[in-house]
Chains A and B, each alone.
Chain A
C-alpha cells in the first residue's frame, strides 16, 4: 500500500491524506492523523513479529520433550515475544493509533498541544524498535520480559543491554504521548466541551496518560541501573555485595503493573464508544464510568507487589498488597456492569465492532474474575509463575485489549480511510478470533492449576493433551488475525466509500468529513449537547 497512490475518490475535496504526497510529507508530518497512521504501520509490523514468536512457542509445546527448538532459543522466543508484544504493540496500540487520530477531533481541536513532540514520540518509538530489531537479529535476549536480576545482570551474556536500551527509548515515546494527551485535554477543548461532555474514549486515554507519565520513568531508571550494572559492574542489585534482587522487582513492578492498565484502559474507552453507538443508547452512569477509569489509574499504582507474593517479600507487606489489589478490582467490575446495563432496552445491531465489544466484555470479565483468584494470597502461592497466570493476563491483554483495538479499528475505519470495510469478512474474522482465542487460553487455566510452570521448554507428559489443544487454538487465532490485515488493506482501494457518519454515531469525530481535512474542522465547533445523545440522533438504517 504505497502512500502516494492513496486517493479517496469521493473526497475530491482536500483531506489529510491527499493534501500532500511524497515520503517527506509523511516522515516530517506534524498532523496527528498522519502520525497515527505511521504508528498503525509500525505497531502492526511488531505485532506480527511478536505473533511469530508466539507461534514458535506453541509449536514447541506440542510435545513434552524439547524437540523443535533448543533450550536457549526457546527462552529467547518467550522473552522476545513478551518484550515485543508488551512494549512495541500493547502499550502504544490504542493510545498512539486511535488516541492520536481521534482525541483532537473528539474534543474539537485542530491538533494535539505539541505536534512536533508527537512526531518526536513516533521517531523515538522507531529508534527503540530498531534497537529491538538489532537485538532480535543478532542473537536475541533470554532474560524473560521481566529482566529479573541477578540472572539478567550476572548470569547471561545475551543482548540484555541492547534490549534494555530499546525499551528505555520506547518508554520515552510512551511518556511523550501521555504528556501530549494530558495537556491537550486540559487546554485544547472546544468551547462547550466540558469535562462531563467528553467522550469516555477521551476519559480513558486521559487516565492512561496519567499512568504513562507517572509510571514509565521508574521503568526507565530501573533498566538504566541494570545496564549500568552490566557495563560498569556497579552492584545495586548484586546479592554478593548485599544488594537485594527484590529491590529490582519492586521498582520493575511499580511500573509494570500500572502498564497492564495502560494496555486495558484505552480498550475500555473504545468499548464504551462502540456499545453506546450500536445500542443507540446513552452510556449507563456516565459519571461512574469516568470516575472508574480515574480510580483504576490511581489505585493501579498501589498494588504492584501482588506479582511478588511468593518472591520472598515479608508476610505483612504481602497482605497489604493483596488487600489493595481487591480495591483495584472494584472499578473494573463497575465498568462491566455499566456496559451490560447500557444494552438494556437498547436497539442493538450486530455490526463487526459490536461483535468485538461483546467479545471484549465476555473475555475481560473472565480475565478480571481470574484476577480475583490470583489476588487471593493462598491461591496465588500455588498458581503464580504457572500457566494459570499466563492465561489470566492473556485473557485481559489478548481477549480484552486486542479485541477492543480491532473493534476500534473497524469502528473508526470509515473515518480513517474514508472507506467501509467488508462487513461479512469482518464478522467472520471476529468469530474466528473469538474461537481461536478461547481454545488457546482456556486450557491454560487448567494447566496452571495442575501445576505446569510457565516458561518451560519441556514439561511432564501428563500436560500434553491440554498443550496440544492450546496450540491448535493458537493456529486458529493466527488465521483470525491475518484476515483483518488483508481486507482492511483491500478496503482502502476497493471498499465502499463512507459518508461522514456511516454508523450515525454521536461524537464530534462523526461531524467532520471522512477522511477529515488537515485541521479537522472548517471552523472550531461549539458543543451544546451532552455526550452520547443518541435520543436526538434520528434512526438511520445502516445500509448493508
Chain B
C-alpha cells in the first residue's frame, strides 16, 4: 500500500488509503466477511445436498451408521463449541470497549475450547478407525448393507473432516489476533480483525450446530444402541 495517500481528515495509522473513514472500512470488512461466509455456506451446502439425497434413498443404512456414533462425545463437542462462541463474542465485546487484557484472555479461552474440540474429534476418529469404519482404505462391516453404511461414513468423514480443517484454520486465526491484541494493536476505534475472525469462528460453530443432529441423532435408536 503506497503511503503517499492524499491527506484525509482523520488520518489514523490503521486507515487504508482508499477508504474515506474508519467507519467505511469496518463496514466494508464486515460485509466482505459475510460474502465470504456465504461462499462457505454453499461449500458445505454441496455436502449437505449429497447427505440429504442419500438419506432420502437409504434411510435404514443411515440409521445403522448413526448408531455407531457416540452421541455423548457429539453432545460434549457441541457444548464445547457453544462455549467457545460465547468467549469469542465476549472477546469482540471487550475489543469494542478497548480492554486489552480482556481481549487476550477471552481469545486464549476460545483457543483452548477450539483445541478441546479438535481433541475430542481426534478421539472419535481414532475410535472409528480402530473399528474399521473408514470406507475404502480401512473398512469392515458385518451386516448386509455394508455398501450403504459405507456411503454414510464417507459423508461423516468428509463433512466432519472439512469442518475440523476449518476449525484448525480458525484456531490459527484466533491465535494470530490474540498475539496482535497482546501487542495492543486493537482499541475501541479499530478492532476490525477481531470482529472479522469472530464472524468466521461463529460460522464454523453454526456448521457444527447442523452437523451434530444430522450425523449423531438420526433416529431414536442411537440411545438404545
Residues in chain A within 8 A of chain B (CB atoms): 30, 109-111, 113-117, 175, 178-180, 182-183, 186-188, 213-218, 220-222, 224-225, 228, 232-236, 240-244, 247, 250-251, 254, 518-519, 523-524
Contact partners of A115 in chain B: CB under 8 A:
1, 16, 18
B interface residues with partner A (beta carbon < 8 Å): 1-2, 6, 16-18, 20, 24, 27-28, 31-32, 35-36, 38-40, 42-47, 49-50, 53-54, 57-58, 61, 134-137, 147-148, 150-151, 154-155, 157-158, 162
CA distance A240 to B146 in the complex (A): 11
- Cross-chain contact B18 with A236 (CB below 8 angstroms): no
Q: Assuming the A-B contacts A232-B137, A234-B136, A236-B154, are A247 and B50 also in contact, with contact meaning beta carbons closer than 8 angstroms in the complex?
A: yes
Q: Are A221 and B148 in contact (CB under 8 A)?
A: no
Contact partner, B50, options A216, A236, A518, A519, Cβ 8 Å? A236
A395–B32 Cα gap in the complex (Å)? 35
The reply to whether A228 and B158 contact each other, CB–CB distance below 8 Å, is yes
Quote the shortest CB–CB distance from A216 to chain B (angstroms): 7
Known A-B contacts A235-B154, A242-B151; A183 and B32 likewise in contact (beta carbons under 8 Å): yes
The listed residue (B27, B43, B151) touching A220 by CB distance below 8 A is: B43
Q: Roughly how many angstroms separate A233 CA and B38 CA in the complex, as a whole number? A: 30
Residue of A with least CB distance to B44: A221
Q: Knowing A235-B154, A247-B50, say if A110 contacts B17 (CB, 8 Å).
A: yes
Query: B49 and A250: CB pair below 8 A?
Result: yes
- Tell me if A222 and B158 are in contact (CB < 8 A): no
Question: Does the CB pair B158–A236 fall under 8 Å?
Answer: yes
Q: How near does chain A come to B52, taking the closest CB pair, in angstroms?
A: 10
The reply to whether B135 and A235 form a contact with Cβ atoms under 8 Å apart is: yes
A183 partner residues in chain B, CB cutoff 8 A: 28, 31-32, 35
13 more contacts with CB within 8 A, not counting A213-B38, A224-B162, are A110-B18, A114-B32, A187-B31, A217-B43, A217-B46, A218-B46, A221-B46, A235-B136, A235-B151, A241-B147, A241-B154, A242-B147, A242-B151
User: With A30-B1, A213-B38, A215-B42 given, is the CB distance from A233 to B50 under 8 Å?
Assistant: no
* A225 and B6 contacting across the interface, CB-CB below 8 Å: no
CB neighbours (8 Å) of A30 from chain B are: 1
Q: List 13 A-B contacts (CB under 8 A).
A: A111-B18, A115-B18, A180-B32, A214-B39, A215-B42, A218-B46, A221-B46, A225-B158, A232-B157, A235-B135, A236-B154, A247-B53, A519-B17
CA distance A179 to B155 in the complex (A): 29
Q: B147 touching A217 by the CB < 8 A rule?
A: no
Instruction: Provide the residues of chain B in CB contact with A254, threshold 8 Å.
Output: 46
Contacts of B135 in A (CB 8 A): 232-235, 241
Chain A contacts of B40 at CB under 8 A? Answer: 217
Q: How far is the CB of A165 from chain B (nearest CB, A)?
A: 15
Residue of A nearest to B27 (CB): A187
Question: Could you tell me if B42 and A214 are in contact, using CB atoms closer than 8 angstroms?
Answer: yes
Contacts of A117 in B (CB 8 A): 32
Which A residues are in CB contact (< 8 Å) with B32? 113-114, 117, 179-180, 183
Name B43's closest neighbour in chain A (CB-CB): A217
CB closest residue in chain B, given A29: B2
Beta-carbon contact of A188 and B18 below 8 Å: yes
Alpha-carbon distance between A462 and B199 when the two chains are bound, in angstroms: 62
Cβ-defined contact, A214 with B49, below 8 A? no
CB of A175 within 8 A of CB of B39, answer yes
**What's the nearest-Cβ distance from chain A to residue B68, in Å?**
17
Asked if A251 and B38 make an inter-chain contact with CB atoms under 8 angstroms apart, the answer reads no
Give the residue name and chain of the B residue nearest to A216 (CB): B39
Residues from chain A with a CB closer than 8 A to the CB of B154 are 234-236, 241
Indicate if the CB atoms of B35 and A241 lie closer than 8 Å: no
Interchain residue pairs A-B with the least CB separation, the first 8: A233-B136, A221-B46, A217-B43, A110-B18, A217-B42, A241-B147, A234-B154, A111-B18
Q: Is the CB of B18 within 8 A of A523?
A: no
Considering the chains assembled together, what is the distance between the CA atoms of A214 and B40 in angstroms? 9
Option from A113, A213, A214, A519 in Cβ contact (under 8 Å) with B6? A519
Given A234-B157, A241-B135, A242-B151, A182 and B53 contact (CB-CB distance below 8 Å) = no
Is the CB–CB distance between B47 and A221 below 8 Å?
yes
Measured between C-beta atoms, what is the minimum distance from B202 to chain A in Å? 19
The reply to whether A232 and B1 contact each other, CB–CB distance below 8 Å, is no
- The listed residue with most B CB atoms (<10 A of its CB), out of A111, A187, A234, A254, is A234
Q: Is the CB of B150 within 8 A of A113?
A: no
Give CA–CA (A244, B35) in the complex, Å: 31
Q: Which residues of B contact A250 (CB under 8 A)?
A: 49
